Structure 1
Amino acid sequence: MAESAEDHEADLDAFLDKFRGPQRYEGAFSPETWEQEFDKIPMFMKKAPSEIDPEQHPDLACLQSIVFDEEQTLEEQATAYKNEGNDYFKEKDYKKAVISYTEGLKKKCNDQELNAVLHTNRAAAQFYLGNYRSALNDAVAARKLKPNHFKAILRGALCHMELRHFAEAMIWCEEGLRINPKEKKLLETRTKADRLKRTEERDLRKAKLQEKREGSQKEVLLKAIKDRNIKLSPLSSVDDSVMSAGLAKISLDGFSSESAIGAKVCLDENGNLTWPVLFLYPEHGQTDLISAFHEESRFIDHLMIMFEELPPWDVEKKYIPSELELYYEDEEKEEIYQIDTQTTLLQVLQHQRYFIKAGTPTFLVLVKLAPFSKNYLSRKKIHRLK
C-alpha cells in the first residue's frame, strides 16, 4: 500500500507539472490583449461591426444566420430586423437603425401592424438624423396602414413643425388629441404651431403691405424721373429719335431706386430728387460717394466741400477745386463729355446723351492740364456739354 501511495503521489506531481511552466492551454487569452480578445466574443461585444465578414467573425455570422434564418416566415424576419433596429435606436445609432427598419420593410410581410411600426420607428430614426421630409413620409405611410397609429401621428406632427408647416401640424395634433386628449407633447405642439402660424400670417400681411407701399412710392418716383426726361439705362439703338421715344417704355419691372452701393434716389416733400452720385479719380484709382446730391445743387459746391482738405492720396497736392475738370463717358458712342462745374446735377442728367446706370450717376474727375489727364483724354473724342 505504501508503494501504491507513493506511485499515486508521483503521478499527481507529474500532472501538476504540466501547468507550472510558461506553456498555456490552447486558445487562452493573452495577458496583454485579453480585453480586445474578449470583445471579439459575440456575447460580450460592446458594439457590433457594421459589416460582418464570416472569416473574421465566424461566431457572429453564425448567430446572424440563426436570427435571420431564411426558413423563418417573413413576419419573423421582419420582426427580427425591427428588434435589431430598436437596439441600434437605443444606442443612438440612428443610421444603422434606419437600415435595419428598411430591411424589415423589404420583407413585405402581411402583418400591417408590424409594417406600420417599422415605418413609425424609421420615422423616429430619420427625425433624429434631421431628415424631416423622409420622417414625415414614413409617418404618412404608417397611417395609411393604420390610420389611428398614435406614435405615427405624434411623429408626423413634430415633422410638420420642423418643416414649418404650422397649419398641417395643428391638424395632426388635433387628430392625435382625439385619440389621447391629455398627451402633453401634442398639446404643447398645437399651442406652439398656432402661435407660429399667427406670427407667420402677420409677417406676411406686413410684407404685402410694405410691398404695396413701396410699389406706390416707386410709381411716384418713376413719374418724377420721367417728367424730367431723365434716362435710366442705355438703349440698344444710337438713333436719337428712338432714344427719346424709348423713355416712355421705362416701367417698374426694370426700375430700381437703389444704387449698387445701397444709397437710393429719393423724392423729397417738395418734389425734388436727390441722387447718390459717384466720383471716380482714374489717376489714383480712388472714388467718392455723395449719398444725397440734390438735383438743383451745382457740382462746384460739392467739390469745394470735398476738397476743403486735400485727400491723403493726393501727395502732389494738385486736387484743388478750381483746377478740376468733370467728365462723363458715353459708352455707346465711345465719346466723353466735359461738364461745366457751375452746372447743376439736373442739367447734366437731362442731357440727351446721359444715361444713369445702376441708379447712380457717375462722373470722372481729372486735374486740368496734368500729364495723366492729357494722356487719358488723348484717346477720347471730347464734347463740351451744352
Structure 2
Amino acid sequence: MNPKNVKALFRSAKALFALELFPEAVDCCEHALLNDPDNQPVKDELAKIKAEFERREKIRIAKELREQKIREKKLLIEGALEKRGIRSAATPGFKPDHPHEIQLDQELDQLTVPTFFLYPEHNESDLIQAFNEQDTIGEQLAEIFYEAAPWDPEHKYQPETVQTYFETEDQGGNIGLMKVGLNVKFLTVLTHKKYVLRDGLARFIVVPKEDTQWKKDWLAKYGK
C-alpha cells in the first residue's frame, strides 16, 4: 500500500467533487479504498459524494420529465389547433402576465382558452381562465355580467345591451373588426379565416349597443 497514493487520490476526489465531477470523484475514492479499505475519511468522502450525486440526479431526472411533459403538451395543443384549423401566432418576446394556458380535455376533445373580455369605454377587462370552445359568447357574457361590475354600478352592461367584437387579421397583418352574435360558439370565432389566436390568448371587445359619440370615435379607429 502506498499512503501517498491514497492521499493523492483523496485530494483528487475532493477537488473533483468541488468541480461537480461526481463519477470521477467516486472513482478516485474507490481506487483509494482498494489500497486502504479501512480509511474512514475516504469512506466518509465517498458517502458524501454519492449522496450529493444521487440528489443531483433526482433533480435532473425530475427536470427532464417536466420538460418532456411540457413538450408533449405543446405538441398536443398544436395538434388540436391544427385539427380545427385555428390560426395561431406568437409575438416575439411576449411574456404573459397570467399563469393560464390553453388546455385540451382529451376525453371530450374540447379546448379551453384563456380569454380577455375588454371594455374600452371604461378601460377595464375580465380574464376568463378557461373559455370552453363549445360555449357561446352569450353564455360567457351572462356569467360575467350576472352581477354589476364595480365600474358599472348602474348595471348597463348586460348581454342584451352590449355589442361584442373580435379583431381580425388578414395575411398582410391588417387589423379589422368583426361583430359576433350572442349565439355564436367560441369555436366558430376561433376557426374564422381572419381570426388569429395570438400568444395563446383570445380577446373580445365589448361596447354598448347604444350609439354614442364615444362609440363612433372608437369605431373610427378601425375604419368603421
- Residue 202 of structure 2 aligns with an amino acid whose one-letter code is P
Paired residue for 2:202?
Answer: 361
State how 1:160-199 maps to structure 2 within 5 Å.
160-178=16-34, 180-199=36-55
Unaligned runs of 5+ in 2: none
Give SS of 2:29's match.
Answer: helix
The alignment partner of 1:381 has SS state of coil
Q: How does 1:8-23 map to 2 (within 5 A)?
A: none
Deviation at 1:220, TM superposition (A): 3.4
> Would you say 1:266 and 2:103 are equivalent positions?
yes
Q: Which residue in the other structure is 1:377 paired with? A: 219
Correspondence for 2:84: 228
User: Are the structure 2 counterparts of residues 169 and 364 from structure 1 closer, same or farther at C-alpha, using a change threshold of 3 Å?
Assistant: same
Distance 1:227 1:158 in 2: 56
Q: Which moved more, 1:321-330 or 1:169-178?
A: 169-178
Q: Deviations over 1:171-217 (max 9, x none)?
A: 23234445654443332221122233234334444444444444444
Give 1:378 deviation, angstroms: 1.9
Report the more deviating stretch, 184-193 or 268-277.
184-193
Q: How many Å separate the matches in 1 of 2:125 and 2:39?
A: 65
Matched, 1:352 2:193: yes
Structure 1 residues 153-178: Cα deviation after superposition (integer angstroms, max 9, x where no partner):
54443343344332222123234445
Q: Larger radius of gyration, structure 1 or 2?
A: 1
| TM alignment of 1:1-386, pairs within 5 A | 148=5, 150=7, 153-178=9-34, 180-233=36-89, 261-268=98-105, 269-315=107-153, 317-330=155-168, 332-369=173-210, 370-382=212-224
| Cα distance in 1 for residues equivalent to 2:138 and 2:181 | 9
Structure-2 separation of matches of 1:185 and 1:286: 67
Question: Which amino acid in 2 is paired with 1:282?
Answer: P
Query: Structure 2 counterpart of 1:160, which letter?
Result: L
Q: Distance in 2 between matches of 1:310 and 1:183?
A: 77
CA shift at 1:334, angstroms? 2.9
Q: How many residues align?
A: 214
**Separation of aligned partners in 2, 1:233 and 1:349:** 13
Instruction: Write out per-residue CA displacement over residues 233-287 of structure 1, whole angstroms, 9 at most, x where no aligned residue.
Output: 28xxxxxxxxxxxxxxxxxxx9xxx965221212211111111111122233222
Scaled by the length of structure 2, what TM-score is found? 0.80
Asked if the contact 1:260/1:360 (under 8 Å) is kept, the reply is no
User: 1:260 touches 1:359 (CA, 8 Å); kept in 2?
Assistant: no
Deviations 1:345-380 (A, max 9, x none): 100011111001111111112122344322211221
Q: What does residue 5 of structure 1 align with?
A: none
Give per-residue Cα distances to partners, 1:59-113, cap 9 Å, x unaligned. Answer: xxxxxxxxxxxxxxxxxxxxxxxxxxxxxxxxxxxxxxxxxxxxxxxxxxxxxxx
CA contact (8 A) 1:260 1:358 kept: no
Distance in 2 separating the partners of 1:371 and 1:188: 81
Give the residue type in structure 2 aligned to 1:358: D
In structure 2, give the amino acid aligned to 1:266: Q
Identity of aligned residues (%): 29
Equivalent position of 1:128 in the other structure: none
For normalisation by structure 1, the TM-score amounts to: 0.49
CA distance in structure 2 between the partners assigned to 1:347 and 1:333 by the alignment: 21
Cα distance per residue 1:24-69 (max 9 Å; x no partner): xxxxxxxxxxxxxxxxxxxxxxxxxxxxxxxxxxxxxxxxxxxxxx
CA distance 1:260–1:352, shift in 2 (3 Å): farther
Q: Unpaired runs of 5+ in structure 1?
A: 1-146, 235-253
- For 2:175, give the aligned amino acid: E
**Bigger relative CO (Cα 8 Å, ≥ 6 apart):** 2
Task: Mark the CA change 1:355 to 1:197 in structure 2 (over 3 Å): closer, same or farther.
Answer: same
